[in-house]
Amino acid sequence: MSTATATYEGLKPGTAAKHAFFSAVVWLCIGTSFGFFTSLRIAWPDLLNGVEVMGPLTSAFAFGRVRPLHITIVIFGWISIAFVAAMYYMTPALCNCRLWSEKLGVWNIWLWNVGLVVGGLSLIMGANSGREYQELIWPLDIYVLTAILGLASINVFMTVLQRRTQGIYITVWFFMAALIMLFMTYFVGAIPDLFPVTGLNEAYMVWWHAHNVLGLWITPVSAAIAYYVIPKITGNVLYSHKIGHLHFWTIVAFYSTPGAHHLMGAPLPEWMKSFASVSGVMILIPSLAFITNMVLTVQGKWNMFSSNVSLQFALTGTLMAVPLNFQGAFQQTRAINWYIHGTHWIVAHAHFALLGFSTFIEIGATYYAIAKLFNRKIYSQSLATTHYWLTTIGFVGFWTTLTLAGLIQASGKVYNTTFIDVVYATHPYMVGRSLFGLTIVLGQWIFLYNMYKTATAGEPVTEKNAPATVYYT
């Protein structure tokens, strides 16, 4: 089986992916728990202040320090590690070979975990770059670019180079392209940290980065994972490779261009805002291409939606992309943006993208891959269904309360209401968000437990190459 360049050093195929999936799920639990904690601080600001036992921790758990921690952990811990886990699992499978180096993969994941622990500690100790979504300080930026992204990219690219298939499947194009694009994006975001770039130019780079961590990394890789998981589980072939091409090239060409739509209220030149706004609406092309392709792939197999948790999660995530992208495309036009900018509406939208769309698809992939990697059935089907409903109900409630709160804030702007009255009026919604958030958090801890039990005590599947459906009975 082995090829000349491969290095295995006593590690079984799939070891790196196993380490990666488990790290990702652990970070998911930690990250959402911190999100819950920050939400409490918005509803009850002085929670824990003045409590004797807290001591020096009072400053570490201040709202302004834990919020970046939540964002960094869910984006760079959960979502990104889950992506690389999927790459370590799916790339060899699609290229009909082994991962180039399992050892490098395991090292990569542990360097990543160490980086996140150091990064998390630095954030709560107050070392903050002051640039949203890019809050790690520059020594850590360099670490992210080399030890984290660099190593992961080498492994994925070398695996593709030693493939034993003729063509390259769409999932793998996206993996490779997204690794390059994320590297560039992260680098642009780090430029103001590393070089003397100031003023609006800096703000623009920071928001270009923030936009493209989503546009050139999270969106395409989530889609790539769906392109693998959904055909694999349903047993249908991908509906159309041509639509896949359309999706891929439109993402590369103009998903990155609307960076300035985050700065619609800032004194940027008009042409930049108009350009961003128009190219932002074009984002509908790749997203609709993707959704169409996926929904048509499931043709004739919709009954599996209720019997297969992976598919349930992956398809729910995919369908969420419909309202998500319409919301995104229109809220960044100037006609609407001035109304909802800076309100809780935006926070609701951010969770729509990262929780509703991306996280759902990755959870689907995680159920699928962990069962396959350990060759065991999912430990508890009912816990998995519980996880699905806790996450879904939690998310829908979370999104609804925040969107309503956002509309209250927005109308406060229009009617010139005293600011503090608006703060007060949104308080019940903040409490509601915490409750729904707690629902989500509970779901994720159940998920971790279920995955751990699957790996250690799930019923073994004996036939090699058993169809995916066997893992769910």
User: CB neighbours of 435 closer than 8 A, spacing ≥ 6?
Assistant: 397
> Is 437 among the residues that bind ligand HEM (CB under 6 A)?
yes
* Minimum distance of ligand HEC from residue 332's CB (angstroms): 25
- Burial class of residue 413, CB neighbours in 10 A (0-12, 13-18, 19+): middle
Q: Answer with the entry of ligand HEM, ligand HEC, other proteins, none that 198 interacts with (C-beta below 5 to 8 A by kind).
A: other proteins
Q: Name the burial class of residue 295, with classes exposed (0-12), middle (13-18) and buried (19+) by CB atoms within 10 angstroms of its CB.
A: middle
**The one among 151, 238, 252, 324 contacting other proteins by CB under 8 A:** 252
Nearer to ligand HEM, 220 or 437 (CB): 437
Angstrom distance (rounded) from CA 120 to CA 139: 14
Q: Which backbone phi and psi does 81 adopt, to 5 degrees?
A: -70, -35
**Maximum distance among all alpha carbons in the chain?**
71
If contact means CB under 5 to 8 A according to the sort of partner, which of ligand HEM, ligand HEC, other proteins, none does residue 239 touch? none
Is the Cβ–Cβ distance between 357 and 222 less than 8 Å?
Answer: yes
x/- letters, 51..70, toward ligand HEC (CB under 6 A)? ------------xx------
Q: Quick one: what does residue 208 bind among ligand HEM, other proteins, ligand HEC, none, with the CB cut-off 5 to 8 Å set by partner type?
A: other proteins
Q: How many CB atoms lie within 10 A of CB 157?
A: 15
In whole angstroms, how close is the CB of 328 to other proteins at the nearest point? 15
The three-class DSSP label of residue 460 is strand
> Looking at 11, 42, 137, 350, which residue binds ligand HEC (CB under 6 A)?
42
Choice from 181, 314, 365, 441 touching other proteins (CB under 8 A): 181
C-beta of 440: minimal distance to ligand HEM in Å?
4
- Altogether, the residues listed in the chain come to a count of 473
Asked if 423 touches ligand HEC (CB under 6 A), the answer is: yes
Residue 33: HSE in the Cβ half-sphere, 13 Å Cα cutoff: 11
Total residues contacting ligand HEC (rule CB under 6 A)?
A: 5
Q: Which of residues 389-408 bind ligand HEM (CB under 6 A)?
A: none
Q: How many CB atoms lie within 10 A of CB 405?
A: 24
Provide the token pair at 462.
């004996």
Site for ligand HEM in 258-277 (CB under 6 A): none
Q: Which does 409 bind (CB under 5 to 8 A by kind): other proteins, ligand HEM, ligand HEC, none?
A: other proteins
At 421, list the tokens. 């009255």
In the shown chain, the binding pattern of residues 253 to 292 toward other proteins, with x for contact by CB under 8 A and - for none, equals: xx-xx-xx-x--xxxxx--x--------------------
Question: Can you name the residues that pair with 460 across neighbouring β-strands?
Answer: 376
Q: Which residues bind ligand HEM (CB under 6 A)?
A: 28, 32, 35-36, 38-39, 42, 67, 70-71, 74, 78, 346-347, 350-351, 354-355, 359, 433-434, 437, 440-441
